[in-house]
């Protein structure tokens, strides 16, 4: 095969592999700028390493085929001590290849460590709990949970910490992760894209029984919709109007005593997730669809839906009481 032919086929193969892996989701389908840069570094290191592998595999398979012992072969082959020239070659070339990756790595490490421009970035305090995510926007004094609402095309400074064990905050399509450590605060800077979209977020540090299910959503809205959301979240708690809603509110505050842990206005803290705007959230428990069926299951027995959940169960509620309670929760738009 002529040399250029081989190179051309290699390039095609490489492009093919890269193309094949898009649409696979996660880090391979980045939409935020930070994740995009990280994929560039992944690709750079991968393709350099692939080249090394091709050379090594080529030599290896050649050698084991060409120099296998033939029938009737006797005596010993020539015993060779080594080759200074080869040692230099296979030290120098890998060193140069590593330097290429290293330079990009160092530059990107410093780049991505910088917080985003504070005058333009949305500031969010992220607090990891066993097994849910709390989000507080200090500029708006809004406290929420499980859905991280952000506008399109915006830089975000997420200040991460934990209230209990170590968690790790990861939105693969927007940026790599950063740990949420108890007793420490660390900043993760990332940027949303122009897409109005919901991204999957995951906890990425073993944190107990519910670790696998400690998902959250990043809800990216248009700037207008984001502002509307901020307004809505700051509005006072809605009125219960129907009989079911009124009955549900009674159950919420008196019978089940939900207010012990759950505030319904975004300005109040609590042991459990803030429920302002709950009806508009993507999920129940962070990972199940937000419909009445899952909501009922959750209220009756949170531990069964999400092992390790610290919320007690309320399966003593009758079906009617449950329906009323859900009707009330649906007023928290």
Partner 1 sequence: MAHAHAVKRYRGLMDWLTTVDHKKIGILYLIGGGFFFLVGGIEAILIRIQLAKPELSFLPAHTFNELITMHGTTMIFFAAMPLIFAFMNAVVPLQIGARDVAFPFVNALSYWLFLFGGIVLNISWFFSAVPAAGWTGYVPLSGPEYGTFGVNFYVMGLQVAGIGTLIGGINFLVTIINMRAPGMSFMRMPLFSWTAFLTSALILFAFPAITVGLVLLMFDRLFGANFFNIDLGGNVVLWQHLFWIFGHPEVYILILPAFGIISEVISTFSSKRLFGYSSMVFATVLIGFLGFMVWAHHMFTVGMGAVANALFAVATMLIAIPTGIKIFNWIFTMWGGHIRFTTASLFAMGFIPTFVMGGVTGVMLGAAPADYQFHDSYFVVAHFHYVIVGGLVLGLFAGAFYWWPKMFGRILNERMGIWTFVLFFTGFHLTFFIQHILGLQGMPRRVFTYMGGQGWDTSNLVSTIGAILMGLGTILFLVNAIITASKPKNAPADPWDGRTLEWAISSPPPEYNFKQLPLVRGLDALFVEKSEGHKAMTPAEPVGPIHMPSPSLIPIVFSVGLLIASLGFMYANQPFSNEFIASLFKNHVIAIAGLALTFGCMVVRSIKDDHGYHIEVEELEKEGVHQ
Site for partner 1 in 136-165 (CB under 8 A): 160, 164-165
Peptide bond into 142 cis (omega under 30): no
177 vs 262, beta carbon nearer partner 1: 177
Choose one: 19-27, 118-126, 248-256, 311-319; the region binding partner 1 (CB under 8 A).
Answer: 19-27
142-145: strand order across its sheet: 142-145, 132-137, 122-129, 155-162, 186-191
Assess 15 for contact with partner 1 (CB under 8 A): no
Is residue 38 part of the contact set for partner 1 (CB under 8 A)?
A: yes
Which one of residues 4, 5, 19, 80 is an interface residue with partner 1 (CB under 8 A)?
Answer: 80
Q: Which residues contact 73 (CB under 8 A, 6 or more apart)?
A: none
Sheet holding 197-203, edge to edge: 147-151, 216-221, 197-203, 167-171, 175-180
Sketch the per residue contact string, 164 through 203, with partner 1: x for CB under 8 A, - otherwise. xxx-x-x-xx-xxxxx-xxxx-xx------------x-xx
Which residue in the set 101, 230, 237, 246 belongs to the binding site for partner 1 (CB under 8 A)?
101
Q: How far is it, in rounded angstroms, from Cα 66 to Cα 58?
A: 12
**Binding of residue 95 to partner 1 (CB under 8 A):** yes
14 forms part of the interface with partner 1 (CB under 8 A): no
Contact range with partner 1 by CB under 8 A, out of 97-105, 115-123, 233-241, 325-333: 97-105
304 lies in the site for partner 1, by CB under 8 A: no
Binding to partner 1 in span 42-61, by CB under 8 A: 42, 45-46, 49-50, 52-53, 56-57, 59-60
**Alpha carbons 79 and 259: distance in angstroms, whole number:** 82
Contacting residues for 35 by C-beta, under 8 A, at least 6 apart: 27, 172, 173, 174, 175, 176, 190
- Check binding of 208 to partner 1 (CB under 8 A): yes
Q: Which of residues 233-292 bind partner 1 (CB under 8 A)?
A: 287
What secondary structure does DSSP assign to 81-99, as a single string?
A: ---HHHHHHHHHHHHHHHH
Q: How far is the CB of 1 from partner 1 (least distance, A)?
A: 22
Instruction: List, in order, residues 6 or more apart from 37 with CB less than 8 Å away.
Output: 108, 111, 112
Cβ closer to partner 1: 48 or 230? 48
- Exposed, middle or buried, 84 (CB in 10 Å: 0-12/13-18/19+)? exposed
CB of 218 to partner 1, least distance (A): 13
Q: Which residues of 110-127 are buried (b: 16+ CB within 10 A; e: fewer)?
A: eebeeebeeeebbbbbbb
The count of residues interacting with partner 1 (CB under 8 A) is 90
Please pick, from the candidates 5, 79, 119, 241, the single residue that binds partner 1 as defined by CB under 8 A.
79
Indicate the burial class of 153 (C-beta count within 10 angstroms; 0-12, 13-18, 19 or more): middle
Shorter beta-carbon distance to partner 1: residue 175 or 276: 175
| Of residues 108-127, those binding partner 1 (CB under 8 A) | 108-110, 112-113
């Amino acid at each position: 095969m002529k040399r250029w032919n081989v190179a051309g086929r290699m390039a095609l193969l490489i492009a093919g592999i890269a193309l094949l892996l898009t649409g696979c989701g996660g880090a391979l389908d980045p939409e935020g700028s930070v994740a995009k840069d990280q994929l560039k570094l992944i690709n750079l290191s991968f393709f350099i390493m692939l080249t090394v592998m091709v050379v090594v595999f080529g030599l290896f398979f050649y050698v084991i085929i060409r120099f296998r012992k033939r029938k009737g072969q006797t005596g010993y082959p020539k015993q060779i001590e080594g080759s200074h020239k080869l040692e230099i070659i296979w030290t120098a070339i890998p060193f140069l290849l590593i330097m290429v990756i290293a330079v990009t790595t160092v530059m990107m490490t410093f780049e991505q460590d910088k917080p985003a421009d504070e005058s333009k970035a949305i500031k969010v305090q992220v607090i990891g709990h066993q097994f849910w995510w709390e989000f507080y926007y200090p500029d708006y004094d809004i406290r929420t949970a499980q859905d991280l609402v952000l506008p399109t095309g915006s830089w975000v400074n997420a200040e991460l910490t934990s209230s209990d064990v170590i968690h790790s905050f990861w939105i693969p399509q927007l940026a790599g992760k950063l740990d949420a450590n108890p007793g420490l605060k660390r900043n993760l800077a990332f940027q949303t894209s122009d897409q109005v979209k919901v991204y999957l977020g995951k906890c990425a540090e073993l944190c107990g029984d519910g670790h696998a299910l400690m998902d959250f959503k990043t809800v990216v809205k248009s700037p207008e919709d984001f502002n509307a959301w901020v307004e809505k979240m700051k509005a006072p708690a809605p009125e219960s109007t129907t009989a079911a809603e009124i009955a549900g509110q009674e159950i919420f505050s008196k019978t089940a005593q939900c207010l012990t842990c759950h505030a319904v206005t975004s300005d109040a803290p609590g042991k459990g997730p803030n429920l302002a705007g709950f009806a508009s959230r993507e999920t129940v428990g962070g990972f199940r669809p937000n419909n009445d069926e899952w909501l009922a299951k959750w209220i009756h027995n949170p531990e069964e839906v999400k092992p390790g959940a610290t919320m007690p169960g309320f399966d003593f509620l009758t079906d009617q009481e449950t329906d009323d309670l859900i009707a009330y929760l649906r007023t928290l738009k």
